[in-house]
Structure 1
Amino acid sequence: MREVTIGDSNVPAIGLGTWHMGDNNATRGTEIKALKDGIAAGARVLDTAEMDGNGRSERLVGEAIKGMNRDELFIIDKVLPSNASASRLEHSLDTSLKQVGTDYFDLYLYHWRGAIPLSETILTLQQMQTKGKIKHWGVSNFDISDMEELLELPNADQVAANEDLYNLGSRGIEYSLLPWMRERKIPLIAYTPVAAGDQRGRLTADPVVKQIAANHSASAWQIILAWAIRDGNTIAIPQSNDPKHTVDNVLAANITLTANELAQLDVQFPKPNSKQPLDMR
């Protein structure tokens, strides 16, 4: 299974997203089973956020991992911009830790840029790392200008990852941001890695994608995920409420696309030739 180094951990390149999970009591049991089965299939990364369902996703993750060996998991959480100040961040972090039922997060992300000075947020994140409440900190929905600003700040070399929307149909970050991150060995966490809505339908129905899927006895979803993690420096965090689909997502980390298949996908879904606005959900 393909792995990525993030912080001081090597983790499988496909984790478990939880956006929109925990909102419906009628599906709660199935969602918990999906997370448990995904972990049993080899996933270690679970990605959640205080924003997701106003804590309901965090509580769902906590219920799913109850009784598991915490050291075998890599849990990512995120702080909202409105809570990213020196006066509010630690309280927000403590609330999220309680929701998930853990003493620390492996990675804690600044969810997106807000009105709080970036220097204040980064200093506070660094303090949380020193206190042991988080092992590493990072950012989310940062474009290249945000990352360049970040790296001018004290302790910026501690940034462990940037989480951005990225998939076969949304390749805008490949023009400048992704090469910049690769040069500095900053991993990417790709959210919405199989796209959403109509775009997802176009990707999964594409004849080239379907042919490559047939080559690997895989699903179109698995090929799209295998493409997202092809460079060895990207963790994809697809979300699914269905246990079987979740397991299939995790197993996509075993698929290696050939150079010819990657070239075919480049023709069908070209990389950008100019700077694009950052895609955000």
Structure 2
Amino acid sequence: MKDLHLGDRMVPAIGLGTWHMGDSAATRSTEIKAIQAGIDAGANVIDTAEMYGNGRSEKLVGEAIANINRDHLFLIDKVLPSNASADRMEHRLDTSLKLLGTDYVDLYLYHWRGAVPLSETVETLQLMQKKGKIKRWGVSNFDLPDMKELLDLPGGDQVAANEDLYNLGSRGIEYSLLPWQRQQGIPLIAYTPVAAGDERGQLINHSAVKEVAEVHHATPWQILLAWAIRDGSTLAIPQSGDPKHAVDNVKAGLITLSDDDLAKLDTQFPKPTSKQPLDIR
């Protein structure tokens, strides 16, 4: 299983995303089992956010991990821009912690930029860290200018990760942002790592992806995940409400793509040759 550093913690390179989970009573039990199955298979990172179902995802995660050793887990949560201020962040964080059933999160992300000055958000994140309510902090949906601005702020260089959309069909960040993050030693958290909607179908049904999958006796989903984490500094957080699929996702961390595999995929899904707008969903 591939691992990477998030701050001072080593974690598996495949985690569990929870976007769109917790919204339906009909699927709740199966979704909880999916999270637990993923943990049993070797994942210990769970990614959620206050925005996901207005706290319903956090509550689902809390139920799923209630009987699991907290020290084994690495919980990622996110604060909305409207709550990323000095007078609102702690209250919202306390609400998230209550829903999760824990007294701290391992990584707290500023979900995307809003009206609150970035310096104020960073100062408040650092305060939450000092209080022990978060172990580390980071950002999400930041492009290169945002990251450079962040690192120019006092304490900004303590950012533990940046979470952006990244998959084989959306490689725009490879042009400038991802190389810069590698130089700075800032890990990437890849959300939507197997794409979404119609785009997902286009990827998993593409002949090149299927051919590489056959070589590795793997599923197309697993190849897309193995591709996303290939650089050793990326955490992928696929979402699945199906226990078997969640286990298969985690097992993708065992796959190492060869140079020939990567060349075949690059031919069909080439690297960007110019700056692209940041892909946000």
For normalisation by structure 1, the TM-score amounts to 1.00
Partner of 2:32 in structure 1? Answer: 32
Runs of 4+ aligned structure 1 residues displaced above 2 Å come to none
Q: 1:1-281, aligned counterparts within 5 Å?
A: 1-281=1-281
CA distance in 1, matches of 2:108, 2:25: 27
1:1-48 Cα distance to aligned partner (Å, 9 max, x none): 000100111100000000000000010000000000000000010000
Query: Separation in 2 of the partners of 1:208 and 1:67?
Result: 42
What TM-score does the superposition give when structure 2 sets the normalisation length? 1.00
**In the aligned structure 1, how far is the partner of 2:154 from the partner of 2:216?**
46
| Superimposed CA distance per residue, residues 103-150 of structure 1 (whole angstroms, 9 cap, x where no aligned partner) | 100000000000000000000000100111000000000000100100
C-alpha distance in structure 1 between counterparts of 2:251 and 2:207, whole Å: 22
Report the 3-state secondary structure (helix = DSSP H, G, I; strand = E; otherwise coil) of the residue aligned with 1:4.
strand
Report the Cα distance in structure 1 between the residues aligned to 2:158 and 2:168, rounded to whole angstroms. Answer: 29
CA distance in 2, matches of 1:145, 1:263: 30
CA RMSD, 1 decimal: 0.4
Letter in 2 for 1:240: S
- CA offsets, 1:211-250, max 9 Å, x none? 1100000000000000000000000000011110010000
Are the equivalent residues in 1 in contact too, given 2:79–2:108 (CA < 8 A)? yes
Identity %: 73
Measure the CA separation in 2 of the matches of 1:161 and 1:69. Answer: 24
In the alignment of these two chains, the number of paired residues is: 281
Instruction: Could you tell me which runs of 5 or more consecutive residues in structure 2 were left unpaired when the two chains were aligned.
Output: none
For 2:10 and 2:258, locate their aligned partners in 1 and report how far apart those are by CA, in whole Å: 24
Q: Name the CA distance, whole Å, in 2 between partners of 1:127 and 1:256.
A: 40
Q: Report the secondary structure of 1:78's partner residue.
A: strand
Structure 1 portions without partners, runs of 5+: none
For residue 31 of structure 1, what is the amino acid of its counterpart? E
Secondary structure of 2:42's counterpart equals coil
